[in-house]
């Protein structure tokens, strides 16, 4: 029955997008009377003369270091707290550090979350917490109240069990949403490959790790790491240093000091040769393409500013080489960028673009060309001069925000920078030479020792990228997908046997073949819009589907040969590809048909789905359309489908009249996840004679 609900989900979304677009206001404006030469970018302006703002600092007896930046332009004060702690291995509970931070403001010894929210809202303040710090702000007249709230959150959190479950639910929902985002998937793979799963920087949250988190994990992390001796507090705004010292001493002087665990880990290194990592998104028409590897680079390094200028030329802005090549010249993408990110322990290089599937290999070639060119040829005098002006202007604009000065003060301590690092920043940028910048390219750009990551249509990408290096397919969590020729891992099972197990699990071949029709009703809510769906599919391959929403109703009918769709914008006959797809969806218990002539099924390996191993079966229909189905190894049930229409997860199987069906179906969509809950499931319902008539 899952086969009949999925197309309706995506057909509805297409209509919903159209309705939203039709209702959106038209852009208005006036025409410029000045002729612009768009064939070249404007010349950069002269580098401004800037002065880095001053700050004062003091330290409490408990070790808390405080920086104060006065700014009396507005009656407003902000507080930024940062902890200098070593990274921690979260292992099978990845995510608990961030959840511990979130939970700080969800209840204290004297205030519930509701009390905190009410108190913060009453004074129009902001208070947010994380696993490594906090941020708060309010009008100056409320600063005493704000500090009272901040101290309560930092010194007396209780980590209520009921709030943990709320946070867990939100995080799990976000993780499900991330499955639909190729960019999020690419970020996961970059993280895992750069550092390795055994490194604290290489750990990623999964639904399984989040479910493993217990309240005591949060309490232990807080008790071990939230200590004033490793904390830096920046106070910015309408306040004097003496006022800040009195206020901070009053509310945070009682913060008890203590030792914080120190940890060391092996340093990740770049691969010995190019490695290609592919994550399959069946039917995808675009590819997220990335190049990355770890880099030993710190902000205090002598050549750090040279890397800033070099990356500016390579891919740091719109006028960079990557952007001009891949966007302006080749039109492969809307944007291509690169970054060299420093870190106290280990940084990274990354270059990325989203390109059309058919030009993925060509785009990869151009990325490699630019990486090799800047390494072998270096930058020109003109490019370096332009980069210096761009960096100078960016730095100058950042100083308009007093928070920047506070961040500079904190960074100087956190990253062990020279005291005059920011004061002389522009002088050092101006003094950079071609030799220094080109040496940075030689040192940090390694096109032959990089991970090439591609998230998209694996069938196309595996062929396109084979020449760039060894190709390995991964799931979205960075786990290698087991190839089908690994007989020991698959247990010599065939695609036919996997499908037979599914057929038996949902009711058995004899019972399924005897079913004449199934009717399913379900409900979902997307962007506060309620969708009610009534869906019928018959043994002789007919479909009738109705969706009712406040934005309009939709009907889709297929009589076995012809089909139509009715939307608020009118009736449309379905032809061509649309009709082919509808024919394929009109298969009641579709795996019953997969051994018929014209179908092809291939068992390609195994992959974890929601933390459980599943067999991966690729299905090719007589029309040539493809679909990937995932069958849980333990239960035999279908738990996930991927096709050109999108991805659907199937959960909460329930038994009725001897048949098993999923009561929850989650569709990944551009608007977020759409979760359908089945409200009624009926075998062989009474049907009206004209239900499937196509006029």
| pLDDT greater than 50 at residue 29 | no
* 420/292 Cα distance (integer angstroms): 32
Predicted pLDDT at 562: 85
- Please tell me which residue, 402 or 12, carries the higher pLDDT value: 402
Average pLDDT over residues 321-337: 94
Radius of gyration over every alpha carbon of the chain, rounded to an integer in angstroms: 29
SS3 392: helix
Mean pLDDT of the chain: 87
| pLDDT greater than 50 at residue 13 | no
Q: Is residue 243 part of a domain?
A: yes
* 560/590 Cα distance (integer angstroms): 15
Residue 128 has φ and ψ, to the nearest 5°, of -130, 150
- Please tell me which residue, 573 or 361, carries the higher pLDDT value: 361
Q: Is residue 26 part of a domain?
A: no
Q: Is residue 265 part of a domain?
A: no
SS3 159: coil
Domain boundary among 186, 221, 252: 252
Average pLDDT over residues 485-514: 81
Predicted pLDDT at 37: 54
- Reduced to 3 DSSP states, what percent helix, strand and coil does the chain have, rounded to the nearest 5? 40, 30, 35
Average pLDDT over residues 491-507: 89
Helix (DSSP H) and strand (DSSP E) numbers for the chain: 21, 25
Predicted pLDDT at 55: 87
Query: In this predicted structure, which of 62-76, 211-225, 434-448, 535-549 has the lowest mean pLDDT?
Result: 535-549
Average pLDDT over residues 315-330: 94
CATH code for the domain in which residue 208 is found: 3.30.830.10
pLDDT in tens, 56-100: 999 999 999 999 999 898 999 999 999 999 999 999 999 999 999
Predicted pLDDT at 43: 54
Predicted pLDDT at 587: 81
Quick one: pLDDT band at residue 178, thresholds 50, 70, 90? Answer: confident
Q: Are residues 550 and 648 in the same domain?
A: yes
CATH code for the domain in which residue 530 is found: 2.50.20
Average pLDDT over residues 590-609: 88
Q: Is residue 292 part of a domain?
A: yes
Average pLDDT over residues 341-352: 95
Which domain, by its residues, includes 186? 60-252
Q: Which residues contact 274 (CB under 8 A, 6 or more apart)?
A: 447, 448, 449, 450, 451, 452, 468, 469, 470
- Please tell me which residue, 601 or 24, carries the higher pLDDT value: 601
Predicted pLDDT at 40: 53
Q: Are residues 391 and 506 in the same domain?
A: no
Q: Is residue 31 part of a domain?
A: no
Instruction: Name the burial class of residue 591, with classes exposed (0-12), middle (13-18) and buried (19+) by CB atoms within 10 angstroms of its CB.
Output: buried
Q: What is the pTM of this model?
A: 0.72
Count structural domains, the chain. Answer: 3
Quick one: pLDDT band at residue 277, thresholds 50, 70, 90? Answer: very high
| pLDDT greater than 60 at residue 389 | yes
Quick one: pLDDT band at residue 1, thresholds 50, 70, 90? Answer: very low
Average pLDDT over residues 632-657: 88
User: Contact, 181 vs 284, CB < 8 A?
Assistant: no
Domain boundary among 448, 474, 500: 474
Predicted pLDDT at 695: 64
Domain boundary among 436, 454, 474: 474
* 81/83 Cα distance (integer angstroms): 7
Predicted pLDDT at 290: 97
Q: Are residues 193 and 226 in the same domain?
A: yes
| pLDDT greater than 90 at residue 571 | no
Predicted pLDDT at 18: 41
Q: Are residues 225 and 290 in the same domain?
A: no
Q: Is residue 259 part of a domain?
A: no
Q: Is residue 138 part of a domain?
A: yes
Average pLDDT over residues 430-441: 95
| pLDDT greater than 90 at residue 359 | yes
User: Contact, 271 vs 450, CB < 8 A?
Assistant: yes
Q: Are residues 489 and 459 in the same domain?
A: no
pLDDT in tens, 31-47: 434 454 555 545 544 44
Predicted pLDDT at 276: 97
SS3 477: coil
Q: Are residues 391 and 339 in the same domain?
A: yes
Predicted pLDDT at 505: 93
């Amino acid at each position: 029955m899952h086969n009949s609900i999925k197309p309706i989900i995506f057909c509805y979304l297409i209509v919903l997008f159209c309705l939203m677009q039709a209702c959106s206001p038209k852009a208005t404006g006036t025409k410029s009377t000045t002729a612009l030469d768009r064939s070249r970018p404007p010349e950069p302006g002269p580098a401004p003369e800037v002065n880095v703002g001053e700050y004062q600092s003091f330290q409490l007896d408990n070790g808390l270091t405080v920086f104060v930046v006065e700014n009396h332009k507005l009656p407003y004060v902000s507080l930024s707290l940062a902890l200098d702690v070593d990274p921690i291995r979260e292992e099978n509970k990845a995510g608990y550090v961030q959840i511990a931070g979130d939970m700080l403001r969800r209840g204290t010894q004297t205030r519930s979350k509701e009390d905190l929210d009410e108190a913060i809202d009453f004074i129009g303040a902001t208070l947010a917490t994380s696993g490594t710090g906090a941020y708060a702000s309010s009008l100056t007249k409320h600063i005493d109240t704000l500090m009272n709230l901040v101290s309560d959150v930092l010194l007396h959190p209780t980590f209520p069990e009921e709030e943990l479950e709320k946070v867990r639910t939100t995080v799990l929902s976000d993780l499900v949403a991330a499955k639909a985002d190729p960019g999020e998937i690419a970020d996961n793979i970059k993280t895992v490959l750069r550092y390795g799963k055994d490194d604290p920087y290489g750990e990623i949250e999964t639904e399984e790790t989040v479910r493993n988190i217990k309240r005591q994990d949060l309490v232990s992390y807080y008790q071990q790491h939230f200590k004033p001796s490793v904390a830096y507090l920046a106070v910015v705004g309408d306040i004097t240093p003496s006022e800040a010292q009195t206020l901070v001493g009053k509310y945070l002087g009682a913060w008890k000091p203590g030792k914080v665990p120190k940890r060391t880990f092996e340093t990740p290194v770049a691969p010995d040769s190019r490695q290609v990592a592919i994550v399959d998104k069946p039917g995808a028409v675009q590819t997220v393409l990335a190049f990355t590897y770890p880099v030993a680079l710190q902000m205090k390094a002598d050549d750090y500013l040279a890397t800033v200028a070099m990356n500016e030329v390579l891919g740091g802005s719109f006028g960079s080489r990557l952007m001009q090549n891949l966007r302006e010249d080749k039109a492969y993408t809307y944007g291509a960028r690169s970054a060299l990110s420093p870190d106290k322990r280990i940084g990274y290089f990354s270059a990325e673009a989203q390109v059309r599937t058919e030009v993925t290999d060509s785009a990869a070639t151009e990325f490699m060309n630019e990486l090799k060119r800047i390494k072998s040829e270096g930058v020109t005098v003109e490019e370096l001069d332009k980069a210096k002006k761009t960096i100078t202007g960016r730095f100058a604009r950042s100083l308009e925000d007093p928070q920047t000065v506070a961040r500079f003060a904190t960074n100087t301590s956190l990253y062990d920078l020279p005291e005059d690092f920011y004061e002389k920043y522009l002088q050092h940028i101006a003094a950079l030479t071609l030799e220094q910048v080109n040496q940075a390219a030689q040192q940090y750009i390694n096109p032959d020792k990089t991970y090439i990551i591609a998230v998209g249509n694996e069938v196309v990408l595996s062929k396109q990228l084979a020449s760039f290096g060894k190709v390995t397919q991964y799931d979205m969590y960075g786990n290698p997908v087991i190839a089908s020729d690994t007989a020991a891992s698959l247990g010599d099972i065939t695609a036919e046997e996997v499908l037979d197990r599914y057929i038996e699990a949902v009711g058995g071949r004899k019972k399924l073949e005897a079913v004449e029709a199934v009717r399913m009703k379900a409900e979902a809510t997307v962007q506060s819009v309620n969708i009610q769906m009534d869906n019928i599919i018959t043994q002789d391959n007919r479909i009738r589907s109705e969706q009712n929403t406040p934005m309009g109703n939709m009907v889709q009918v297929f009589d076995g040969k012809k089909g139509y769709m009715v939307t608020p914008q009118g009736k449309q006959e379905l032809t061509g590809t649309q009709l082919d797809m509808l024919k394929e969806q009109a298969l009641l218990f579709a795996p019953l048909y997969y051994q018929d002539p014209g179908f092809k099924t291939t068992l390609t390996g195994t992959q974890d789905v929601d933390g459980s191993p599943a067999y991966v079966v690729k299905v090719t229909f007589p029309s040539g359309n493809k679909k990937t189905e995932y069958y849980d190894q333990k239960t035999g049930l279908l738990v996930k489908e991927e096709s050109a229409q999108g991805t659907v997860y199937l959960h909460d199987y329930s038994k009725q009249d001897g048949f098993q069906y999923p009561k929850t179906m989650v569709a990944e969509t551009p608007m977020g996840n759409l979760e359908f809950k089945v409200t009624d499931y009926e075998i062989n319902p009474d049907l009206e004679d004209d239900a499937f008539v196509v006029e």
